[in-house]
Amino acid sequence: MSSEDFLKEIQAIGEKFLLKLQKLPKADPVEIASFSVVLLFIVTVLVLTVIACSCCCYSCCGCDGRPDPRHKKSRVRPAAH
């Protein structure tokens, strides 16, 4: 998929989302509830992704930005005879 096709697809999804938001005040309660559930699912996935990425960066870099010494690679040297 080329970048132009991807951008067109994202734009089409955004337009559908805006159209749904415009029609939402006139919608029946079932449609409002289902839209809220889908929106809640999307927000939950995004929040969990941010939390996972921040925890990963925290474990690799620590609070002060320096690498964690526990994850430091050590070189193996041959034994002296």
Contacts of 67 (CB under 8 A, 6+ apart): 60, 61
Q: pLDDT for 34-61, tens place per residue?
A: 989 998 999 999 999 998 888 777 666 6
3-state secondary structure of 38: helix
Q: Looking up tokens 């938001």, which residue turns up? A: 21
**Structure confidence at residue 65 as a pLDDT band (50, 70, 90):** low
pTM for the structure as a whole: 0.54
Would you give the end-to-end CA distance of the chain in angstroms?
Answer: 59
